[in-house]
Amino acid sequence: MSTITKQRRTSRLKYVLRALAVAIGAFITAYGLEAILIPNNVSDGGVTGLSIVGSQLIGSPLGLLIAVLNIPFVFLGYKQIGKGFAIYSVIGIASLAYGTSVMHHIPTIIQGDTLLVTVVGGIIIGFGMGLALRNGGALDGIDMLAVLLSRKLPFGTSDLILFLNMFVFIVVSTVFGLQGAFLSGIAYFIASKVIHIVEEGLSGSKTFKIITSQPELMVEAIRDQLGRSATYNLVEGGYSSEQFKEITCIINRLEDSKMKEIINEIDKHAFVAVYDVAEVKGGNFKKKDIH
């Protein structure tokens, strides 16, 4: 078998596994909606939230409304983001629509406890949506609309997502009441945090920028104790005009406390700035043993 054929098979398998992950994420989200949120008069945000309201008002199947209302947003995603994203989103939205249909009569696992409903429901749908997003698909079209509007209006994407969902929760209040709208907002907030964790992973990365009087010793200790390499940038103090070697090092989030311990041992007065890193690729960045 030629190398090209093997690469093609590997590539096809990767696409199939990603599509399967998107579908699984959609079914998890459907379970969170049908087994926890909807029976307790709590909704989701975005197009799914509007679909839930429409289903309650006119009696149409929730899955049908999710599929129909997301059509223009899928087209928008195809135009603005690309064909691959649109295909995976179609798989995700179709799976979510089908999942809500087949799970419509499953038993409710939590009843009455509003705090537990919002927390557990938010975690489950957030995990499902995050799994889909991590694998290249989306289960809701409102985020695509926010991306497009941010290019036309003087507002950030996150601000527009918040604004659009505020409108959704106002609509939700007409069906589930003011309490239902507030609970829906809490569940959506929890879900958004879980989505962030799932997309980045529990062991996301951090960048440390360190200015110390002992840069060589610091880099050596980081290499010996964490197994991490570092780079130097020459920087100059704005007031003193003194030149320093600024150390830049990317570590796994689990190594954060050890890194701070190393810095404190070598130079308690070192200047340290820490940044979250969404993704790291290339080089030799792998998880190391902390010793």
Q: Which of 135, 167, 200 is the last residue of a domain?
A: 200
The pLDDT of residue 256 is above 50: yes
Query: In the structure, what pLDDT confidence band is assigned to residue 27 with cuts at 50, 70 and 90?
Result: very high
> Six-digit token pair at 280?
């790291």
Query: In the structure, what pLDDT confidence band is assigned to residue 140 with cuts at 50, 70 and 90?
Result: confident
pLDDT of 120:
94
Give the C-alpha separation, 167 to 145, whole Å: 14
Give the C-alpha separation, 55 to 63, whole Å: 9
The pLDDT of residue 266 is above 90: yes
Average pLDDT, stretch 49-62?
A: 90
Q: Which of 200, 233, 259 is the last residue of a domain?
A: 200
Q: Are residues 138 and 15 in the same domain?
A: yes
116 within 8 A of 9, measured Cβ to Cβ: no
The pLDDT of residue 290 is above 50: no
**pTM exceeding 0.95:** no
The pLDDT of residue 139 is above 90: no
Q: Are residues 8 and 147 in the same domain?
A: yes
pLDDT of 274:
93
Q: Are residues 250 and 167 in the same domain?
A: no
pLDDT of 156:
60
For the ranges 6-15, 148-157, 272-281, which has the lowest average pLDDT? 148-157
pLDDT of 161:
75
Q: Are residues 220 and 178 in the same domain?
A: no
148 within 8 A of 80, measured Cβ to Cβ: yes
Q: Are residues 139 and 29 in the same domain?
A: yes
Give the C-alpha separation, 58 to 189, whole Å: 27
CATH number for the domain including 256?
Answer: 3.30.70.120
Q: What is the mean pLDDT of the chain?
A: 85
pLDDT of 249:
94
The pLDDT of residue 44 is above 90: no
Highest mean pLDDT among 59-73, 201-215, 240-254: 59-73
Highest mean pLDDT among 131-135, 154-158, 194-198, 230-234: 230-234
pLDDT of 162:
75
The pLDDT of residue 220 is above 90: yes
Q: How buried is 103 (Cβ within 10 angstroms: 0-12 exposed, 13-18 middle, 19+ buried)? A: middle
Owning domain of residue 250: 205-277
Average pLDDT, stretch 104-128?
A: 90
pLDDT of 30:
95
Q: Which of 176, 200, 224 is the last residue of a domain?
A: 200
Q: Are residues 15 and 97 in the same domain?
A: yes
Q: Are residues 117 and 227 in the same domain?
A: no
Give the C-alpha separation, 262 to 225, whole Å: 8
Give the C-alpha separation, 274 to 207, whole Å: 6
Q: Are residues 24 and 137 in the same domain?
A: yes
The pLDDT of residue 291 is above 50: no
Q: Are residues 51 and 99 in the same domain?
A: yes
Total tally of structural domains belonging to the chain: 2
Query: In the structure, what pLDDT confidence band is assigned to residue 23 with cuts at 50, 70 and 90?
Result: very high
